[in-house]
């Protein structure tokens, strides 16, 4: 095992390379706060694509009042602040409000609820309406129940591909606590449909960390995330079990894979995964006690909604899909602490058990 450290990166892009907000890239209005849509190497291309879609989409809209529908799928939340909370989500579109069910005693509730809102008004008026999503704690008094919220206007959603914000994470903040930082994360899909738009079914949402979380994160303009790097040093493993059958031992001998000595029938390597980003070691052929002595690194931004590092030993297979030998997790809550007197993720050197 190794330690994770935070390193400040250059996040001060300007002009052409700055991450777009809803006001700049998606026709947002002053009534809704800006939303950072895309940053990093692909941000510039994403802005141009959205601007092209905006011009094409809005040119085809009628001038007279017509029917619109807003569809919002509240999927799940993670890392909501507070202890022993009963979260509920209020979805507000203009003057219509619909709540989810209450989830008791959890900071990472699964909602999986769909909401529909219908309107009849002019496109210009409709695309300026604000969508407000609030995560509340149903345990407390109304005046003190807000955990965090997120706002965007319907025009932002309409300018995404297929008029859909698909399975994005929203970084929640509390407007009454400007310096409080992230209050949690909420995963949603949202669509806006106008006249003659094709309604499409949402794909099934992934409920793990397999997707690239950071590239699917929407955050309010002005809320900055700190670039950092997780660094894990892999020393060695012992007693990695055989995964191939005796049949493949003969096949490997014929094809000359590995050494000419007796085959151990395991070609191990390790894959490190965090927040959808991954890094892996080299493959050590025919070795049940591999010694890698390699450093794995993945880039990320904090605060992150991902709360554990996954380490997985794999067996390289030239004929089929690589086998998973076993997996272990390092929970960040156990190797780090937030706050003024906290510390960055630090662990090891130590042995960890791998289960398969």
- Is the predicted pLDDT of residue 283 greater than 70, yes or no? yes
The conformation of residue 31, written as its DSSP 8-state character, comes to T
Question: What was the pLDDT predicted at 20?
Answer: 43
For residue 197, what pLDDT is reported? 87
Of 296, 151, 280, 304, whose CA–CA distance to 216 is shortest? 304
Q: For residue 50, is pLDDT > 70?
A: no
Q: How far is CA 263 from the centre of its chain?
A: 41
First to last CA, the chain: 19
Q: What is the predicted pLDDT for the residue at 277?
A: 85
* Span 150-166, pLDDT tens digits: 999 898 888 888 899 99
pLDDT at 262 over 80: no
pLDDT at 242: 85
Other CB atoms within 10 A of residue 18 CB: 15
**In this predicted model, which residue has the larger pLDDT, 262 or 51?**
51
Q: What is the pLDDT of residues 314-329, one digit of tens each?
A: 999 887 889 999 999 9
pLDDT in tens, 189-238: 999 998 888 888 888 877 666 566 667 888 887 777 778 888 999 999 99
The residues pairing with 155 across neighbouring beta strands, listed in sequence order, are none
Q: Rounded to 5 degrees, what angle do the CA atoms 313, 79, 234 make?
A: 25
Please report, rounded to a whole number, the percentage of residues in the chain having pLDDT higher than 70: 72
pLDDT of 102 > 90? The answer is yes
């Amino acid at each position: 095992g190794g330690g994770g450290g935070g390193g400040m990166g250059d996040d001060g892009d300007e002009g052409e390379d700055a991450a777009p907000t809803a006001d700049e890239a998606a026709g947002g209005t002053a009534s809704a706060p800006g939303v950072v849509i895309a940053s990093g190497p692909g941000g510039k291309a994403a802005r141009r694509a959205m601007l092209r879609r905006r011009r094409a989409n809005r040119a085809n809209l009628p001038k007279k009042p017509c029917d619109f529908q807003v569809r919002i799928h509240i999927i799940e939340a993670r890392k909501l602040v507070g202890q022993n909370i009963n979260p509920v989500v209020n979805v507000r579109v203009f003057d219509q409000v619909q709540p989810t069910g209450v989830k008791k005693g959890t900071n990472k509730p699964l909602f999986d609820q769909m909401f529909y809102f219908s309107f009849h008004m002019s496109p210009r008026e409709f695309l300026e309406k604000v969508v407000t999503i609030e995560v509340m704690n149903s345990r407390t008094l109304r005046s003190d129940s807000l955990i965090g919220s997120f706002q965007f206007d319907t025009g932002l959603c309409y300018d995404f591909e297929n008029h859909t914000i698909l399975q994005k994470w929203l970084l929640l903040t509390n407007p009454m606590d400007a310096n409080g930082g992230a209050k949690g994360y909420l995963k949603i899909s949202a669509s806006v449909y106008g006249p003659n738009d094709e309604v499409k079914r949402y794909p099934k949402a992934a409920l793990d960390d397999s997707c690239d979380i950071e590239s699917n994160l929407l955050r309010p303009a002005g809320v900055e995330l700190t670039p950092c790097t997780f660094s894990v040093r892999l020393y060695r493993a012992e007693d990695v079990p055989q995964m191939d059958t005796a049949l493949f031992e003969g096949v490997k001998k014929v094809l000359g894979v590995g050494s000419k000595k007796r085959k151990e029938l395991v070609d191990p390597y390790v894959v490190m995964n965090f927040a959808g980003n991954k890094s892996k070691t080299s493959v050590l052929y025919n070795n049940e006690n591999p010694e890698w002595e390699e450093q794995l690194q993945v880039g990320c931004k904090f605060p992150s909604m991902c709360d554990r590092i996954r380490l997985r030993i794999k067996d390289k297979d030239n004929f089929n899909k690589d086998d998973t030998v076993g997996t272990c997790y390092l929970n960040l809550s156990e190797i780090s602490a937030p706050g003024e007197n906290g510390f960055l993720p630090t662990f090891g050197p130590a042995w960890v058990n791998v289960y398969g």
